[in-house]
A and B are shown apart, each in its own frame.
Chain A
């Protein structure tokens, strides 16, 4: 067991972890952060995506011990203090149904818009290619991202 210290959603946290515990398990089971979901536990579905220092990663593929001293942001963190434009657009465009993939999809889309304020459709598709969604056919997700991009000043 090792003690690690990292910023989780703008808050300094410490937690004891086993060297082989994944970040996903530690977030969900030890830190009460439930938005990252386990869909495959091997990096295929993207439902567990979180950001480490602003870069999206699949938290099921990262050992918790690796995030010591880093900054981890989950969907809970993104939602504070209020919904982002992207989240508002997700609601407006019905970009989710069962909602299980939504935390991971929003993380990936947030990262995309942070790096590329005006992505084209191909760039959006590419950025989301690691996030599986079985409900929406992805189109309403593309529409929400395009809408945010459109409303941003060039």
Chain B
């Protein structure tokens, strides 16, 4: 515990509410005359629907309404990219999570009791449950109208792969697989909707993206966006998982409310959440890499197949990130990369913290070490010889010269702080006096920030100073629990030179601030913070214009410092409060609307070339662990991470992201796997889908690296996802150093050959 933090000074605006239990999450809200809704699923995975019979369910005690596809006044079809998801199944069942009806009753229990009385008459159809099978000619089509099971395809074509093959001294080939995993946010989905007297459908919900929720709700109800107002309340975790599913739950609930003309709440049980909510994509990744004897990579050929399940969701974007980052943070002159997002009848997959990078990193960060070993090179030196540096060209042809490329810096820090080189010498490689095998391992990454060429990328902030000098702040960023509101407040205070105590973050509403896109892709601080800084700058300029005569100087010479405005020689001064009072008395509103538009990015879908992201972040994580050769247990001993974040806005909360990301990444490395059997999600609750517990986690060290990013108005980049994308390969590498055995399948499950263990591991070392 000696290195543990003992002088923390964290600050967040919702701290008091959260430690006293008064923070109100969606299910904590109550409305008079509120009805309760529950979803109804089918037993099928793939079937043609003949009829959905609801009469018996309608007659059950307390049941007010059974809603099916027939009741949808607006659009039945949804999807952020391809509109292939039916809010209520109507002609087909495509996966186990399809909802055929929603029962609305006086009490939640009454609604649950009526579930068995909804009868589905259907004809079972052949299902396709494996992504490679789905790609084969003649395989059943999940969406016939789509014409194939390929939801999307991306490629990278760089240099000349044949030339790379010719130049290579050695070639290494390896297949890796990663599993489907569950977000396991602690709060299952919940929505509360009511039709306001003014005709607006008001939505409270546990969702990550109020604006896509508004789109889904408006589309279902057949209403304009202005007739739906989504208000956000504290959310019990998202990790990318509360986009589509959460918005769909809100849309169904809003429909129930519209039909019954009463408030309706729908709170999911963990079982429904696990059955219906999308997961992280499982991948199959096949690498062929060529290297020269000096360790330089001459080419990479890679094929990835992602099982997207029954619906497209954001699969094209997830797999696009995998495509752009297909070679890890390495310079590779010749690249041939093919990536497929594939439809199957499995539970669908979508966004999850990392978004297509954890899978690739799990593979490439092992492959680079396998190549190093084959060449007899040190794995750190191997990385140094290939990693991106200042001015490097990425595999998609982007020159990294707009910001500080700090990959080697973060690697050096972790190697030093973890004492990697010395500890590496102590690794067991399968040999030990007792059953304990020791290993240390690390992994590095770069990551394109925000959405990149996936989509439009801009955000806004409103600063509205009240006559008494107090400030209302609002941005298009959503508080997922990460502390975004606190970061926005701190940036606003810093850039207005006022105390944060003046600033109240306004409960966001989709009717007040423009659509800022979704709070994903680690873009909150970068995009929302950029908008806050720009809004503060405009406001300062406005105040300076109005107050300059009082300070007997020109507007551009007004200085803001510590709640006081001065002229440049500090001969005259005026307090912030007085300045605001004067503004109002002169009929000038101290109000500003700031926008940050992400710089231009580019992408050519045919060649896989372009400036994919406007800025990048760099990371290194390491882990020490023990493997028990008898029990096959992995025990984590410590974990360390260094991330370049651009600028730390709220350091303690930033470290919180490091710890949480490392922990989640460690779970991905050694434990987490959401099995699907015959198309059905196997785990039903948290006893079967295990996440790491307090007793599983070791001490963690967080090292913040700051290289101010000139492209970001605040200098800050982002942290949510980078922390969660390399602990798994670091663990896999450490396990190799402990056991002498490679585990190319995630999660790493130790399998000890029972007989002749000693000889086996010895044999594999060489």
Taken residue by residue from 96 to 111, chain A's Cβ proximity to chain B (1 for < 8 Å, 0 otherwise) reads as: 1111111100100000
List the B side residues contacting A64 at CB < 8 Å: none
Closest to B699 in A: A139
Given contacts A45-B686, A138-B697, contact A39 B21 (CB under 8 A): no
| A138-B1 in contact (CB<8A) | no
B6 CB to closest chain A CB (Å) equals 6
| B24-A34 in contact (CB<8A) | yes
| B270-A41 in contact (CB<8A) | yes
| A92-B9 in contact (CB<8A) | yes
Given contacts A98-B481, A134-B185, contact A90 B19 (CB under 8 A): yes
List the B side residues contacting A90 at CB < 8 Å: 15, 19
Q: Give the complex CA separation of A64 and B662 in angstroms.
A: 39
Taken residue by residue from 14 to 38, chain A's Cβ proximity to chain B (1 for < 8 Å, 0 otherwise) reads as: 0000000000000010000011011
List 19 extra interface pairs beyond A28-B28, A140-B5, CB under 8 A: A34-B21, A39-B187, A76-B22, A91-B15, A94-B653, A98-B480, A102-B18, A106-B21, A128-B693, A129-B694, A134-B186, A134-B239, A134-B691, A135-B656, A137-B659, A137-B661, A140-B655, A140-B656, A143-B8
B20 within 8 A of A: yes
Taken residue by residue from 73 to 98, chain A's Cβ proximity to chain B (1 for < 8 Å, 0 otherwise) reads as: 01110010001000100111110111
List the A side residues contacting B693 at CB < 8 Å: 128-129, 132
Interface residues of A, count at CB 8 A = 54
Q: Give the complex CA separation of A72 and B660 in angstroms.
A: 32
Taken residue by residue from 53 to 83, chain A's Cβ proximity to chain B (1 for < 8 Å, 0 otherwise) reads as: 0000000000000000000001110010001
Taken residue by residue from 223 to 247, chain B's Cβ proximity to chain A (1 for < 8 Å, 0 otherwise) reads as: 0000000000011111100000000
A-B contacts, 23 of them at CB < 8 A, read A37-B186, A37-B187, A37-B236, A40-B686, A42-B270, A42-B687, A45-B186, A87-B20, A91-B10, A91-B16, A92-B10, A97-B481, A98-B238, A99-B234, A99-B481, A126-B695, A131-B694, A136-B656, A137-B700, A139-B659, A139-B700, A140-B655, A150-B6
B25 within 8 A of A: yes
- Other-chain residue from A99, A128, A138, A140 in contact with B23 (beta carbon distance below 8 A): A99
A-B contact count (CB 8 A): 188
- Other-chain residue from B10, B15, B22, B187 in contact with A98 (beta carbon distance below 8 A): B187
A8 within 8 A of B: no
* Majority-rule SS of A interface residues: loop
Taken residue by residue from 648 to 665, chain B's Cβ proximity to chain A (1 for < 8 Å, 0 otherwise) reads as: 000011011001111110
Q: Give the complex CA separation of A106 and B16 in angstroms.
A: 13
| A39-B19 in contact (CB<8A) | no
A151 CB to closest chain B CB (Å) equals 10
A51 within 8 A of B: no
Closest to B274 in A: A40
A5 within 8 A of B: no
Q: Give the complex CA separation of A40 and B699 in angstroms.
A: 27
Q: Give the complex CA separation of A134 and B691 in angstroms.
A: 8
A-facing residues in B171-195 (Cβ within 8 Å): 183-188
| B482-A47 in contact (CB<8A) | no
B80 within 8 A of A: no
List the B side residues contacting A93 at CB < 8 Å: 5, 8, 10, 652
List the B side residues contacting A147 at CB < 8 Å: 6
List the A side residues contacting B21 at CB < 8 Å: 34-35, 74-76, 79, 102-103, 106
Given contacts A37-B186, A99-B18, contact A44 B687 (CB under 8 A): yes
Q: Give the complex CA separation of A141 and B663 in angstroms.
A: 13
Q: Give the complex CA separation of A138 and B636 in angstroms.
A: 14
- Other-chain residue from A44, A102, A143 in contact with B19 (beta carbon distance below 8 A): A102
List the A side residues contacting B17 at CB < 8 Å: 99
| A91-B19 in contact (CB<8A) | yes
